[in-house]
Each structure stands twice: as C-alpha cells, then as structure tokens.
A and B are shown apart, each in its own frame.
Chain A
Amino acid sequence: MEFAELIKTPRVDGVVLHRPFMPTVEGTLCLTGHHLILSSRQDNTEELWLLHANIDSIEKRFVGSLGTIIVKCKDLRVIQLDIPGMEECLNIANSIEALSTLDSVSLMYPFFYRPLFEVIEDGWQLFVAEESFKDLESMTDEWRLSEVNKDFRVCPSYPSFLTVPKDIDDESLCKAASFRHGGRFPVLSYYHKKNGMVMMRAAQPLIGTNGRRCKEDEKLINATLCAGKRGYIIDTRTIAVAQQAKARGGGFEQEANYPQWRRIHKAIERSNVLQDSLIKLVEACNDQSHSMDRWLSKLEASNWQSNVKEILTTACLAAQCIDREGASVLVHGTEGTDSTLQVTSLAQIILDPTCRTIRGFEALIEREWLQAGHPFQQRCAQSAYSNGKPRSEAPVFLLFLDCVWQILRQFPCSFQFNENLLIMLFEHAYASQFGTFLGNCVAERVKLQLSQKTVSLWSWVNRPQELQRFLNPLYEPNNLVIWPSVAPQSLLLWEGVFLRWNRSTKCLDEACQEMVHIIEYNKELQNKVNSLRRQLAQLETEDGPLQTP
C-alpha cells in the first residue's frame, strides 16, 4: 500500500496552530506517511512534528469555510488546527484518521526511521538473557537457563530462554506449562542476593471446576523453597475474581496441593477497568473550570490514585515477604502479563538498588515487560482519548511508571534517573520512532525482525548527549531496600504526565536547573580542592613541611 493513496491533500497554507502555553503559529501544514508537520518557515518558530501514531483521536468543526481539527494525542496533549477551506480540512482529517489507525505493524514509522546519530552501542544487543544468567550463576547454582521455549512452542508469550530451578527438567516444564494459562509456567523473576529468597511469576493455574492438579507444577515451585520453609503465592486478584476464573478453566492453587505455600489475594484491577480509569482521570485534569469540590470528586471517581495505591501495596507486600519474612514468592494474576508484571517489577525497584540506576531500570523493563510478554502493541493502541469501543487497550505500563514516580518522589536521592526518563518511556510506549515497544512478545518481535529493521530505543537513550537529560542530580547510590509509604496522603497525582499540558512548568524547571547548578558547583569546588591538596602534598614531600597560615 502506498501512503500517497491516503493523502489527498498533502499541503495546506495558512493553517493556524494553537498549543497550550505557546504562542499560536501560522504556517503550512504538510502530511507525510508518518508525520503531521506544521511549519511557519520562519527561523525562530519551532516546527510541529507529530507522529500519526501519536494521535489518539480527532474532532472536526466547521464555521463557514473555516475548519478546525482538534487533535488529541496519546501523550495527552491536545492541539488545535484551524484550516481554511472545507474540502482541505475534510481531506486532512480523513488522512489523519486513516494514517493514525493503520493496522499493519510493518507500516509503522520505526521501519522507515533512519537515525541521524551513529549507533555506537546497539540497544538490541544490550540485554541478553545469557549475560544476566551469568550474574545469577555468580550468586547461586540452584538455577539453570532452559531453552525449552526456543521456538516459542511451549509458551508463545515467553522468550526463548527462561530461568528455572536446576532440578526441573524440560519435560516437567512442558507439563507445568500445560497447567498454566497461556503456557506461562512459573519462572524466576528475581533473586534476592541478601538472603537467597526468590520471586517467581506465572499465569494462573488451570484447575477449572473439577480441581485439576499438576504434580510437575507443584514440584517446580516447591523446588524453590528451602527445606522446611514456606512460601507465599500472591494472587493479584480478589478471592472472588479468582473463584470466578475457575468456571473458565482457570483458578488458583489449592491449599491441599500446595501445603508449603500461603496464598494472599490482592485487588489489582483488570485492564478494561484501568482504561476507564485513565479516561476519567484525564477528563478531570483537562477541565480547568472545575470548582475544588468537583475536581476532588472527579479525581476520586476516576479511581486512578486507588489503582496506584493498590499496585504499590501489592509490590510492597511481595518485597516484604522476601526481605522481611525471608520467604520466596510466586506472583500471578490471570494471564500473568499485566498486574503480575507490575508487581514483580516494582518489588525489584524496592529491593534491588541496581534497578534504580538507568541501565538497571532499562534492564528491568527489558526483562520484566518486553521479554516477559506484556502485550504493548495491544495495550498501547489507544490512550485516554479513545472514543471507540475499547478492545484490549489499558494503561498497565503507565500505571507502573506512575508507581515508580511515587517511589522516586519519596526517595529523591536513591534513583540515578529522574522523572523525564519515566515520561519519555510513557511517550515511546505509545508512539515512537524506535522499534522497542512494537509487538506483543518476543516471538512477534523476532518475526518482525525488529532488531534488524528498526532502531532500539536504548541505542538512543544511552547516548551521553541524551542521557544528560535523564540524570538525577541528587542521586547517591546506596544499597538499601527502600520502603515507600502507601498511605493515601503520600501518593500524589503525577503532574508531570497528567497536568503536563495544563500548566506551565517554567518555575519547576528552573528549580531543577538550580538544583543541578548547586551540585555542579560543589563538584567543581571539590575537584579544585582535591587538586590543591595533591599539589600541597607534593610540595610538602619536595620542600619538607610547609607552614600553612
């Protein structure tokens, strides 16, 4: 298919662009296969380059022959284009609509994007399962890297390499896989160096109404327990929801069959509920005429903050079982691709200081989200302005990022990265020139040949020039477990995302610069003093003791 077929009017002059907190720009609007571009063709005005993939929905309005298109983006920005000429406006609107909802992944921009920078470190090669397994091997010899899923047959949504208990052979893994939803048998998610406890994740067991059991599954997870120790199974669903799942062949681990495990049910919402929550929240944030009462009641009704609290609470619980109780943990919900990953990845941020560095956080996202088979393509197909019938969109990843932001805000000195990195990840998960978030699982990515045909987001982020923007000046590495507060008053609305287009951040940005300034100045002084001290020491050895005033 040619993009040209979808673009009847590629160019319109005299278009006026209205953006929040920026002066209006008049200029020429151009449509290309992947971008909506507006340029005033004057030197000092910024051009607008908008990926069609970033467009969530549009609205058209006409007053006489002047048409207006309101473009609502997946990054929550809303812009307005005034287009002279009814026909032009309709053509543009139709093209945008068609181009922003292309079904075929291989037509997406990442397949056409050629970086203007030299790729020094290929992000596709950065996080290799064998490498991280080596780290694990240096700490324990209880685990092995299984290739049972090499061709993605045992579990289509798992990667080829999986870390499993050493004593469990591939045949048992296959049997356990047949007992778990989508073949997602229990695998290692995290090894807690401090006490050797582990966190595993899986999908729900398929016990159904007649209480099926699977010896291999039981053996598999028992293999992770030390002699005489008990473990915890954290089911991210309420007991009621988990019960209902039995009718559809799913369910939860029966006490009788898993006597060494204690099951705890939490209440993380399902994806369709989360999508609804996002839509309501953004609606509330975008209406500046709200009185205080209305704003607070809309914020409450959106339930977004409740979702944040529930997810964080569950992650804290998992971390607590591991670090405080000294017990191993198995986490699952239904499919094991959404709430499960929220919990396992957040628990690691709490427990493992490495995950609070930039590289470590990238690795975490690679491991616990991309490799673990979170269906990004489906979940991020639409954002808060989706007005069509919801399919499988849900802000599961955004909620994870929000939770990370909450911890970051409570521990501003413990993260190597800052809020900008989180916001950037949110943007790129929904629309990007990079291939990283395309597809729903490793198998799909391999099929799409993403690593050959597209550029990895990490190739770009890790360039020193870009990295600068994501560094937290207050960072001081420490090896402690950090326990975030989950009290309602400690959890704030993530303004950086949800109010980003509704208020100017000038003063807050200045504050950040000031922070950087203070710390840079301190470093500069330290360098000077150190070099002086060295010189002085040298002088003293050369000239004998020196009289200091």
Chain B
Amino acid sequence: MEHIRTPKVENVHMIDRLTPRKSTVGTLYLSSTHTIFVENSEARKETWVLHSLVYNVERLPTNPSGSPLLIRCKNFHVYRLLIPQEKDCLDVLASLTRLSRPECYGELFCFSFNPNLDKELREKAWGFIDLKAEFSRMGIPSNLWHVTAANHEYRLCETYPSELFVPKSAFPAVIVGSAKFRSRGRLPVLSYFHRDTSASICRSSQPLSGFSARSTDDEQMLHAIMKSNPVSELMYVVDTRPKLNAMANRATGKGYENEDHYTNIKLQFVGIENIHVMRSSQQKLVDVGELPAPSMSDFLWGLENSGWLKHIKAVLDAGVFIAKAVAEDGVSVLVHCSDGWDRTAQACSLASVLLDPYYRTIKGLMVLIEKDWVSFGHKFSHRYAHLDGDPKEVSPVMDQFLECVWQLMQQFPCAFEFNERFLIQLHTHIYSCQYGNFIGNCQKERRDLRLQERTHSLWPHLWENRAEYTNPLYRTDHSQTQGVLKPLTTAYCFKFWKGMYGHADKSVASHQSPADCLNAVREESQQLEEELIAHQEVPRETDAGQETCPTEGEENFRGEEEDQQAV
C-alpha cells in the first residue's frame, strides 16, 4: 500500500472518445491490485483494471476541465480519465506507474490472489493438466520413443522440462553431446508424435555450427530421430528464421545445420522475423487503432505499414509447412530458430493445431499451451513484461500464436470447440499475473518460486466456465472437426482481429453476436429436452429418442439500439 498516494478521487470523468455523450462521472479508487472506477449513476457500474494489466499511463496537458490521464492496457483496452485536480492526477499517475511495474516476483498479483480454495483443491487444480497423459495419448512412450532422465534436476538444460522424450535409439552420450552442440543446451526432443504417419515434430535451438564446427553426437541425434519414423528415409529441418538472420548467426559460432554433415536432412527456412521486429510491428498496429477518426485509407495504410498481418501469415505458413510434411509426406520435422523458445514454439504448436483435432478443443488447447509453451521454457515473464525489466525482451509471441488460431477459426467455423472469447481470455491471463501458470521463464524457475504452493492455476478456472467459451457450431462428429486442417494462406484470407485490437475505445463493441444467439438457443434446447424427458415419465407420452445436442451456453441478450456510430 505504500505506493498509493491518493486512494480515492471524486468527480472523475471516464471519457468515451468516439461518443463523448456516453462519458460518465464517478469515483476513482486505487487498491493495491486494481484501479476501480465507480459510476455515480443509479447503476453504480464498476470498472476494474488490474495493475498488472496496465501497459503504460500517460498524462496529457491539463486543460480547463481538468487533467486527462490515459491508461493503456496490455489487452489493448484504453481508459481515458479526466481528473479535476492536477495534483490528484499526478498522484494517480505516480502510483499507477509504480504499481504497474512490479520489481520482483513477490509483488505479483498471483501471490495475493485468493479465490478461497482450500489447500487440497488448489493442489488438485495444479494436476488438471497432465503432460505425461498427453504424451501417452499420442502413443508415447512406444517401442521407438521413450522418456530420458538426462535432464533430471535440469542439469543438461536449465530451460527445458525435466522429463524429455527422445528416440530410444539415442544413447545417453549422444543426448549429452547433442545438448552441448546446441545453443543453451536445448537439444532436439519430441514435441508431437503423429500416430497416423508415425512422423514426429521435434524441437531444439540452433546448432553451434559456426562456419565449420560439427558434432557427431548431434548428427547421430538427428539420425536417430529420422530413424524413429520407420517409413521415411528423409527428415526436414525447419529453421523458422529468415535465411539471412540464420547466416548472420554463423559469425557468432551458431547458425544452422550443414546439410552435408547430416544424413538425409533437408533444410528449410520459413522466414519469421525476430522478436524485435514483431514488437514494433504490434506497436504500429495498436497505434492504428488509436487514430482519432481514421479514414478507410488511414486504416488500411496503417495496417499495411504495421506489417502485422504479414507476420501472422509467416507464422501460419510455417505451421502449414510442418503439418503438411508430417501428414501428407509422412516426414518427421525438427523445428528450431535461435533459442528455440519463441518462433519454434509458435511453429510447433500451430502445426499441432492443424494436425490434431484434440488441440482444437478447450482442454486440448490448454494442454498444448502447457506443453509447447509453458514446459518448454517460453519466457513468459520476459516476453509479457510481468516485471519491470529490459523492454527489449518484450514481444507479442503468444499474441501471434493466438491470432493464428483465430485466423483459422475464421476459415473453419465449425472446427474449434472454443470461441474467440476463450482466446482473448487466455491472452489476458498471459499478461495479468493473476494465476501462477505463466509466471517465470521456465519450469525450473517456477519450481524454485514454489508457484504450485503459493498461487492458483488458471486451467480449472477456465474449465469450470467453459460454457462461456464454447463455440455453438462445434460438434465432435462434424467433418471439420476431423483430420488435418488445410487452410488457405493467400493474403486476402487474413483479417484484422477486431475482437482483440478493435477496442481501444470501449464503445466499439460488436453489436449482435450470432454465436451468443446460438448459445442461447442451445441452452433453451437443453431445457426443453429436460422438460420433454420429465414429461415422458408421465406414461402416455412417447416420442423420445432425441439426438443429443451438447448444450453449454449462457443466456444472452440481443441489445440493439444505441450503439456507436462515427458520424
């Protein structure tokens, strides 16, 4: 509480930029975790903004009506406040600036967040996602793949999980040797096994090949991976970087595999730009959303100039390439970038979404994120600026993955069990620090922070509320839910994600959502079914045997009238 100078300011205006007549007056409260705005109106509507979601706070020049304060959030919400007294505004600014930039993990919201769960339930909640079970769902371990203890206590690779799946034919010495030849010890290990073709997706960091170095252990490791797919004599190595970047790395003793040294590998660059390019691209995209009354040209030009959709396309193209290699050519793929925790995670997880219908379910996407992102050491705390730190480490890597999934949902509306709201909720929680799942940068760090004892897990919470996140068009027996997705990646297939980036002003809401209407209809159907069944217990009535209609949904309204209009 020591950072809060003024806990309460009255007569604050919350400004609606597009429709000023919708602006409201209320009281602003600062708590240790939230900024709360309570409207003076009859309804006393409350707006809660989590400090850890605040991206920055900006004070605009004081004008006769007061001091404007702009709160920009990491989920792209923007709040415009007008505070009557300049002094109050300065106090709020100083407090919020400090509170939104915690300096150590202990300050994070997840350590004080207490949803009243007893100890036993909390522990159980952390077991909600079980990666061992996930590998066994894929059929691993098998006669060709097994778990290695090589990374026990993280002695081989600090940023990997302690349990790694590798080809059975790879000897311990090969594993150790291969790790030594890979940047930060991130050796090639199994990420996804495709049962239908027995081709696999493995992941690693770049090899320390420089201009001429080689490692027979690493070569044998790749050979073992290739051999673990008995039907193929070939294997792809997908370097997700632009070729030029990969070549530049050779000068620092890193780089990419020399095709002459490895047996039967085919190297493919897919050209996803680095985290710095992506960071500035997203910033430009967000700026487009903040333009006051943009013309269509301003908007389209801004969209093009940001390069954002071009990058989204590059990421999805990488996923499509890998999925095609695995499913159609039956060839195993090793994916890496530089460190193998950003672009590699994007490409592997997207390929998995395309390949395996399970990852297109609510639970499945949780499992996938837990596997390819959390356990494999994606640097959540760095990338999403959980702590006040190096701004150059921040980058919207996960944002891009979620957006690629959203773009797929546009092409395959029946293929996903979850809806857009689920993706947006995930996005928020990746930044919010409310739950412990995404705190820290790798498994070891999370263990050292004793997160499982001190914080709560997001997954069971989302699961309990899954009705809210269900796509009404999803049916397990629908043709779109089966098999491999083959999206079109022509430029015109990519859209601006309005649900994510379109609410710089709170008033730009979507008017009527067909999904919400349908969910309401389905919920009603469920009640009718129940009523029917109840009636049928009265003997006379027959006509039973309805097809089952899975019904989760939330009562929804169809508000019309009164919406934003930029005239």
One of A192-200, A207-215, A440-448, A521-529 at the interface: A521-529
Interchain nearest-CB distance for B507 vs A (Å): 9
15 further interface pairs, Cβ-Cβ under 8 Å (given A299-B300, A482-B560, A492-B495): A285-B492, A290-B490, A290-B491, A306-B295, A306-B297, A309-B295, A412-B517, A413-B517, A476-B558, A489-B299, A493-B492, A514-B478, A515-B518, A521-B547, A549-B537
- The answer to whether B524 and A522 touch across the interface, beta carbons within 8 angstroms, is yes
For A413, what are the chain B residues with a Cβ–Cβ distance below 8 Å? 512, 514, 517, 558
Specify the chain B residue showing the minimal Cβ separation from A302: B300
Docked pose: A361 CA to B310 CA in angstroms: 40
For B540, what are the chain A residues with a Cβ–Cβ distance below 8 Å? 535, 539
Specify the chain A residue showing the minimal Cβ separation from B302: A488
For A519, what are the chain B residues with a Cβ–Cβ distance below 8 Å? 518, 521
5 pairs of residues in contact across A and B, judged by CB atoms under 8 Å: A487-B564, A488-B299, A518-B472, A519-B521, A522-B522
- The answer to whether A514 and B473 touch across the interface, beta carbons within 8 angstroms, is yes
Question: Quick check: is B528 within 8 A (CB to CB) of the other chain?
Answer: yes
Question: Quick check: is A44 within 8 A (CB to CB) of the other chain?
Answer: no
For A532, what are the chain B residues with a Cβ–Cβ distance below 8 Å? 531-532, 535, 541
Interface string of A487-516 (1 = CB under 8 A from B): 111111100000100110001101100110
Give the contacting residue for A474; candidates B295, B297, B517, B562; CB below 8 A. Answer: B517
Question: Quick check: is A484 within 8 A (CB to CB) of the other chain?
Answer: yes
Interface string of A180-213 (1 = CB under 8 A from B): 0000000000000000000000000000000000
Residues of B297-319 whose CB lies within 8 A of A:
297-301, 303-304, 307, 309-310, 313
- The answer to whether A293 and B310 touch across the interface, beta carbons within 8 angstroms, is yes
Give the contacting residue for A525; candidates B297, B303, B517, B525; CB below 8 A. Answer: B525
Question: Quick check: is B498 within 8 A (CB to CB) of the other chain?
Answer: yes
- The answer to whether B298 and A529 touch across the interface, beta carbons within 8 angstroms, is no
Give the contacting residue for B522; candidates A296, A518, A549; CB below 8 A. Answer: A518
- The answer to whether A292 and B313 touch across the interface, beta carbons within 8 angstroms, is yes
Count, chain B residues at interface, CB 8 A: 73
For B532, what are the chain A residues with a Cβ–Cβ distance below 8 Å? 525, 528-529, 532
Give the contacting residue for B478; candidates A316, A510, A528; CB below 8 A. Answer: A510
One of B86-94, B336-344, B411-419 at the interface: B411-419
Number of A-B contacts (CB under 8 A): 193
- The answer to whether B528 and A526 touch across the interface, beta carbons within 8 angstroms, is yes
Question: Quick check: is B296 within 8 A (CB to CB) of the other chain?
Answer: yes
Question: Quick check: is B511 within 8 A (CB to CB) of the other chain?
Answer: yes
- Most chain A beta-carbon contacts within 10 A, residue among B411, B511, B546: B511
Question: Quick check: is B502 within 8 A (CB to CB) of the other chain?
Answer: yes
- The answer to whether B492 and A502 touch across the interface, beta carbons within 8 angstroms, is yes
Specify the chain B residue showing the minimal Cβ separation from A483: B565
Specify the chain A residue showing the minimal Cβ separation from B512: A413
Interchain nearest-CB distance for A507 vs B (Å): 5
Question: Quick check: is A449 within 8 A (CB to CB) of the other chain?
Answer: no
Docked pose: A256 CA to B529 CA in angstroms: 69
Interchain nearest-CB distance for B194 vs A (Å): 22
Interchain nearest-CB distance for A266 vs B (Å): 10
Question: Quick check: is B480 within 8 A (CB to CB) of the other chain?
Answer: yes
Question: Quick check: is B538 within 8 A (CB to CB) of the other chain?
Answer: yes
- The answer to whether B414 and A507 touch across the interface, beta carbons within 8 angstroms, is yes
A485 touching B565 in the complex, CB below 8 Å, given contacts A292-B491, A412-B514, A532-B541 = yes
For B18, what are the chain A residues with a Cβ–Cβ distance below 8 Å? 487
Specify the chain B residue showing the minimal Cβ separation from A530: B528
Interface string of B496-508 (1 = CB under 8 A from A): 1010011000001
- The answer to whether A514 and B521 touch across the interface, beta carbons within 8 angstroms, is no
For B529, what are the chain A residues with a Cβ–Cβ distance below 8 Å? 525
Residues of A469-490 whose CB lies within 8 A of B:
474, 476, 478, 480-490
- The answer to whether A503 and B488 touch across the interface, beta carbons within 8 angstroms, is yes
Residues of A284-303 whose CB lies within 8 A of B:
285, 288, 290-297, 299-300, 303
A487 touching B561 in the complex, CB below 8 Å, given contacts A292-B494, A293-B310, A515-B518 = no
A490 touching B517 in the complex, CB below 8 Å, given contacts A292-B313, A514-B414, A549-B534 = no
For A502, what are the chain B residues with a Cβ–Cβ distance below 8 Å? 490, 492
Give the contacting residue for B567; candidates A295, A320, A481, A507; CB below 8 A. Answer: A320
Question: Quick check: is A414 within 8 A (CB to CB) of the other chain?
Answer: yes
For B537, what are the chain A residues with a Cβ–Cβ distance below 8 Å? 549
